[in-house]
A and B are shown apart, each in its own frame.
Chain A
Amino acid sequence: MSIEKEIDVPEIGAGGLARFAWRQLTSMRTALILLMLLAIASIPGSLLPQRNQNPMAVREYFINDPTLAKWIDRFSGFDVFSAPWFSAIYILLFISLIGCVLPRTFEHLKLVRAKPPVTPKNLQKLQGFTIFPSEGEELNRAREFFKEERFRIREQDGSISAEKGYIRESGNLLFHLSLILILIGVSIGSLFGMRGDAIIVTGERFINLATSYDSLSYGKLTNERSLNTFSVRLNKFVAQYDPVTNSPLDYAAYVSIEDEAGNTTEEVIKVNSPLTFGSSRVYLQANGYAPFVTVRDEIGNVTFQGPVTFLPQDSNLRSIGSIKVPEASPQLGFVSSFLPTYQRDPEAGGVSVYPELLKPRLLFSIWEGDLGLDTGIPQSIYTIDTTEMTRIALDSLSPGERFDFTGGSITFEKVEPWINLAVVRDPGKTYSLIGGILALAGLLASLFGFRRRIWLRVLPDGQVEIAGLAKNNSAALDLELDKFTRHVKGEK
């Protein structure tokens, strides 16, 4: 005896299951759930530090609470926006979107070309129903009205059926399809883009080669061969400050550019106006001061010479830096800070009271011993690990001054500004921008468009009937019906 015979179970093969899953995935409820999930899934990305934005803060997490950090990391908590679970949500959402919107688009395209449906038999129950005696001209006047207002019409013995407002659905579809375009733009950018940072001191030249960068990252499908050739020479950097609040007013980097063909042009890079080379752009991101120093040994041989970039610490550009002299024996390190406008503060010691070079001063302590450069552990260029060193002196210098210590001397020659240039290539951004603009246009059309039908019928007994139907916004239809009726009656 078998139960199947009695209950007649429908067959659910693999095909049926797939169809069922597809229907579930493209249902409105799923879209809603996925949208909410996407919003909720983004939250940890803003509460936890993210590796690609703030690697220092992530490292701190690992130092302060290693077990918790390890667990967070296991769930990609420090890389939320590239996490598998985050990708899963938006990929499902976009599959659902395509599955929902593409069929609707085809249907809509058919509908737009089709004629409106025939006039229903009973108009009485529809919106704004009116009836009045005919004067004979109604059909002509209605035709005129619909033509002027760009309705689509269908005529049929004694009646006109008119429809307008497909723009609502068109807008809705355009909006959803444009979201796909934005996603394509983002993907192109992350697959074929690149971003690098380089520090240049005034007077130096940056050549667009992988080795010139302090940091450089590529998209998954591109590499250093894709760098276009150009060079940037920083001739002058001008920063203006407000004398009352000390806050910056304007930064301008005056540069000479040499392009692939060897042509040189003079340009100015500002914070909100980058330079453009094909699909690459060059941005001014940060700036600071680089003291030029010369270190000599006791017989006067130069062991170090050149600019050292210092890292700004506050809005008055008090900066910290380190001068490392591995050539000296024993090795020397200068743990330093630089103050563009020096002032002595009874509590804090040396401070800077203005970001411009009004009274520049270089403060340092000199350490002797092992700089630890050979250990293989990457070191910050701004700090020195002094665990294997001893301090031998402490002093400060103004530009042009020299300090002698046992074992040599240091001369503070001058100070020049440095800038940080970011070179970015994002071949996908145009698609994203177009997608964004189209999405907005579609959204406006969809939210403010309004779809309605109007019918007019001249009955055999000489009466004229008018009625309408609105998908939304029936108040606006009332107004329109009013206008239509007056037109049909020949009133102005």
Chain B
Amino acid sequence: MTQTTWAYLSNNFIYSAMGVFALSLVVHAFETAWAVRVPAGGADLQKMDYSKAEKAARIGTGFMLLAFILLFVGVVARGLANGHVPWGNMYEFSITGALAFVGAYLIALRKHDLRWLGLFVSLGALLTLGTAITLLYRDSAPLVPALNSAWLIIHVITAIISGGVFLFSNIIAGAFLYLDSRERGSGRPAWAERLPSLDFLDQLSYRLVAFVFPLWTFSVIAGAIWAESAWGRYWGWDPKETWAFITWVAYAAYLHARVTAGWKGRRAAWLCLFAGSTFLFNYVYVNVWGTGKHTYSGL
């Protein structure tokens, strides 16, 4: 197959993945909003009928998995079209990032029942892919010489995986804050009654961060090694590097707050959201509006 065919194929797979993410979104929305039949006499956890929600959750997860596979094929095909790893511009970062994000969710599903998050996960994936294909799309192209390095591959893939997991832990922290505020007020809504305890969410978002923080550290080091061989300095406070540093320090502060200062719950969740948003900011602001050495080939 020629490279153009691969590129064409990649686009089609990514469109199909978006279609299936949309299905997953609808089914998960159904799970959340309507599938619980509140029995007469109020929401008593023991008496609630979750059978429909359970069925919806299973179907939604099926769609999610299918969409993940389609997206995976789309990303691989893009790599084949390029003749190099598909991490050369914003469009390619976005599709790979969405893949890592959904992947983090699916892996976490194997250990914990988090299917109630499917709504947000499919929404996040759809938004990322949607902006990617409408605003950021670039034709498949060869890598510029500076990007042609093994360290780049290592640096970028670890950064993308870290980003996917950071984002996922932010979603958990967000869910924590929402449920926490409901519990302080009128109590959890009926559909949320079977969701995990606040304590569990608190721990999970921490464990995700503790797990990827070394990976992110490694990614920054790999980037520095690459910068040394391409630009003659391993650290230059370029905007992208500066924000990578800010993210690293913010997550170090978060780990400190948890491990040594004993922060938990709401304060920790806000700090987690702050640290995660520095990563998102780096991704969006510095890539799109920023200047500096990291802006290649017009996005």
Contact = CB atoms under 8 A, between A and B. Distances in A.
A242 to B, nearest CB: 5
A107 to B, nearest CB: 16
Given A28-B260, A447-B213, A429 B249 contact: no
Given A242-B142, A272-B148, A35 B234 contact: no
A247 B148 CA distance: 13
A31 interface: yes
Interface string B225-246: 1101111111111110011011
Contacts of B26: none
A475 to B, nearest CB: 11
A424 interface: yes
Given A28-B256, A39-B253, A39-B278, A245 B149 contact: no
Contacts of A247: 141-142, 144, 297
Contacts of B233: 195, 424, 426
A271 B246 contact: no
Contacts of A272: 145-146, 148-149, 226, 229-230
B254 to A, nearest CB: 9
A252 B286 CA distance: 30
B291 interface: yes
B49 interface: no
B166 to A, nearest CB: 15
A128 to B, nearest CB: 20
A53 B292 contact: yes
Given A54-B291, A443-B217, A31 B234 contact: no
Interface in A266-285: 270-274, 281, 283, 285
Nearest to A432: B234
B237 A81 contact: yes
B93 to A, nearest CB: 17
B243 A46 contact: yes
Interface in A328-381: none
B261 A274 contact: no
B142 to A, nearest CB: 5
Contacts of A53: 236-238, 292
A414 B55 CA distance: 76
Contact of A35 (B218, B243, B256): B256
A111 to B, nearest CB: 18
Contact of A440 (B144, B145, B221, B226): B221
B139 interface: yes
B238 A444 contact: no
Contacts of B237: 45-46, 50, 53, 80-81
Contacts of B146: 271-272
B210 interface: yes
Nearest to B260: A28
A81 to B, nearest CB: 5
Contact of B221 (A242, A245, A437, A444): A437
A74 interface: no
A43 interface: yes
A242 B230 CA distance: 21
A440 B218 contact: yes
B141 A245 contact: yes
Name which of B214, B221, B232, B286 has the most chain A CB atoms within 10 A of its CB: B232
A57 B139 CA distance: 31
Contacts of B229: 272-274
A28 B253 contact: no
Interface string A188-222: 00000001000000000000000000000000000
A28 B250 CA distance: 15
Interface string B134-146: 0000010110111
A183 B61 CA distance: 47
Contacts of A437: 221
Contacts of B218: 440
A285 B232 contact: yes
Name which of B214, B218, B225 has the most chain A CB atoms within 10 A of its CB: B214
Contacts of B141: 242, 245, 247
B252 interface: yes
A153 interface: no
A284 to B, nearest CB: 9
B208 interface: no
Contact of A42 (B149, B221, B245, B297): B245
Nearest to A245: B141
B171 interface: no
Contacts of B269: none
Nearest to A442: B214
A247 B82 CA distance: 13
Nearest to A282: B232
B80 interface: no
Contact of A46 (B211, B217, B239): B239
A450 interface: no
A36 interface: yes
A385 interface: no
A32 B256 CA distance: 7
A39 B250 contact: yes
Nearest to B149: A272
Interface string A423-438: 0101001001100110
Contact of A248 (B145, B149, B214): B145
A285 B221 CA distance: 22
Contacts of A32: 253, 256-257, 260-261
B77 interface: no
A271 B148 CA distance: 9
A186 interface: yes
B276 to A, nearest CB: 13
B249 A35 contact: yes
B224 interface: yes
Given A31-B256, A248-B144, 5 more contacts: A32-B260, A42-B249, A249-B145, A272-B230, A440-B217
Give the 7 A-B residue pairs with the shortest CB-CB distance, closest first.
A35-B253, A46-B242, A424-B232, A46-B239, A271-B145, A39-B249, A283-B232
30 contacts: A29-B261, A35-B249, A35-B253, A35-B256, A42-B242, A42-B249, A43-B242, A50-B237, A53-B237, A186-B235, A242-B141, A247-B142, A249-B142, A249-B145, A250-B145, A270-B145, A271-B145, A271-B146, A271-B148, A272-B148, A274-B229, A281-B232, A283-B230, A424-B232, A429-B234, A432-B234, A433-B234, A436-B221, A440-B217, A444-B214
